[in-house]
Amino acid sequence: LVASFQHKVLAGRRVLITAGPTFEPIDPVRGITNLSSGKMGYAVARAAREAGAEVTLVSGPTALATPHGVRRIDVLTAQQMHDVVMAGIEGQHIFIGVAAVADWRVANTSDQKIKKLDNGGAPQLEFVQNADILATVAATTTLSGWPYCVGFAAESENLMAYGAAKREKKGIPLLVGNIGPQTFGQDENTIILFDETGHTVLERADKLTLARQLVSEIAKRLERRSL
């Protein structure tokens, strides 16, 4: 009831969000993934929807329920996530990359389940770097100015320096930093917003509260931009 009286800050906006880990196959039954639970990305999707946006969530494997009113597309690998995002990016006003996208995939995947060797040896995996989805999307914004791109970064050290540098390197207006990997799978988080003017700390809170604050911070910046 309260919400219905509030101004929907993202009404009429289309928002594309990535969330969760990716899964990079080794063979038909094995793969490499990471500890992202998807909780933050799903909270951001829910908050954007609450704010009136039309939300598409491109999700790696998670155990989470789809937020109400959100369109969800499931993927496994970073390449699939890249392809689904690029196929849907046109017409989006906001892109928020919350997913913990694998930086590498296995180059020499096996079509058959790899058998254990009698001599005690181990398979030699080779890796190749995955495309950077966020940077690719950011590179497409140069003409129209859309979509407004937001990145997430979990840093295990030097968050202040790395956060600001990562925002610049990715060529995005807003980067959300947190100290990882302690926050992976947790319900609470502390985040820092890096933009062209500096940084803002959002004090420790549950991920939905932070997601709602992030959504209003994004809306505020979009409003300023269109003045």
Which range in 33-41, 95-103, 168-176, 213-221 contacts Ca ion by CB under 5 A? 95-103
Nearer to Ca ion, 83 or 132 (CB): 132
Is residue 169 part of an annotated ligand binding site? Answer: no
Question: What is the CA 141 to chain-centroid distance, rounded?
Answer: 17
Q: Least distance to ligand CTP from the beta carbon of 154, Å?
A: 6
Sequence-distant (6+) residues with CB within 8 A of 78 are 22, 24, 101, 102, 105, 130, 131, 133
**DSSP states of 199-222 as a string?**
EEEEEEEEHHHHHHHHHHHHHHHH
Which range in 60-68, 102-110, 149-157, 197-205 contacts Ca ion by CB under 5 A? 102-110
* Rounded CA separation 54/17 (Å): 11
Closest CA to 90 of 11, 181, 14: 14
Is residue 152 part of an annotated ligand binding site? Answer: yes
Is residue 23 part of an annotated ligand binding site? Answer: no
Is residue 166 part of an annotated ligand binding site? Answer: yes
Question: Left, alpha or beta for 90 (phi > 0: left; psi -120 to 50: alpha)?
Answer: beta
Q: With H, G, I as helix, E, B as strand and everything else as coil, classify residue 13.
A: coil
- Site residues for ligand CTP per CB under 6 A: 18, 78, 97, 99, 101, 103, 130, 132-134, 151-153
Binding Ca ion (rule: CB under 5 A), the pick from 28, 35, 69, 103 is: 103
Which of Ca ion, ligand CTP, none is residue 85 near (CB under 5 to 8 Å by kind)?
Answer: none
Q: Is 34 a catalytic residue?
A: yes
90 lies in the binding site for Ca ion (CB under 5 A):
no
Residue at shortest CB range from Ca ion: 103
Sequence-distant (6+) residues with CB within 8 A of 99 are 18, 19, 20, 21, 22, 36, 41, 58, 59, 60, 81, 133
Q: Least distance to ligand CTP from the beta carbon of 120, Å?
A: 33
Nearer to ligand CTP, 11 or 168 (CB): 168
Q: Give how many residues touch Ca ion by CB under 5 A.
A: 1
Is residue 83 part of an annotated ligand binding site? Answer: no
Whole-Å CA distances, 94 to 13, 97, 224: 8, 10, 15
Which of ligand CTP, Ca ion, none is residue 56 near (CB under 5 to 8 Å by kind)?
Answer: none
Q: Which residues are catalytic?
A: 34
**Residue list for the binding site:** 103, 113, 152, 166, 170
